[in-house]
Amino acid sequence: MGKRTIISFSLFCIAIFSLIIRLYIISNGGFSDASSQNSTKTLNVGTTRGVIYDRNMIPLTGRESYKLACVLPTASAIGCLKENLNEEEFELFYKKLIEGSLVTFTSNKCGALSQCPDIAVLDIYNRYCKNQLAPQVR
């Protein structure tokens, strides 16, 4: 019984040591360099609340929406903007994109911009609108 215990303990120690070596390789390898270059930016584009319906399931709130384009600061996004916007609008957004900041805007040309992979076009619902069925619901 003593011999089995020594062999089991030795195998356990070798397994733990190999895990420590593997953790060292992962933490000092290329993975930490790659992860340090990643970045996350949070962009709040609107607040959403629940939709209120009447008894016939017709929405009382959130009946109107508009398109919002969110643009990443990449060369392909800048090219798409240059093709689809006029020069004044493009120059305004170009300065912000060159600085590396995200740009959001509403335009009637958002549908054409949705073809670009670095531009996300979102439908944002207005909770309250001019022709709301029940204006007292807030």
How many residues in total does the chain contain? 138
What pLDDT digit, counting tens, does each position of 96-129 carry? 888 888 888 887 777 777 778 888 888 887 777 7
Residue 121 CA: distances (Å) to CA of 25, 37, 75, 118, 135 = 42, 26, 18, 10, 29
What pLDDT digit, counting tens, does each position of 55-104 carry? 998 887 777 778 888 888 888 888 888 888 888 888 888 888 888 888 88
pLDDT band at 18 (very low <50, low <70, confident <90, very high): very high
pTM, 2 dp: 0.57
In contact, 88 and 94? CB cutoff 8 Å: no
Classified as helix, coil or strand, 108 is: coil
In contact, 127 and 62? CB cutoff 8 Å: yes
Q: What is the pLDDT of residue 119?
A: 84
What pLDDT digit, counting tens, does each position of 23-51 carry? 888 777 666 666 666 667 777 776 777 78
| C-alpha span between 97 and 93 (Å, rounded) | 6
pLDDT band at 5 (very low <50, low <70, confident <90, very high): very high
Q: What is the pLDDT of residue 136?
A: 67
Q: What is the pLDDT of residue 31?
A: 66
DSSP state of 59: B
Higher-pLDDT residue of 3 and 47 is 3
Residue 104 CA: distances (Å) to CA of 20, 57, 80, 110 = 46, 33, 14, 11
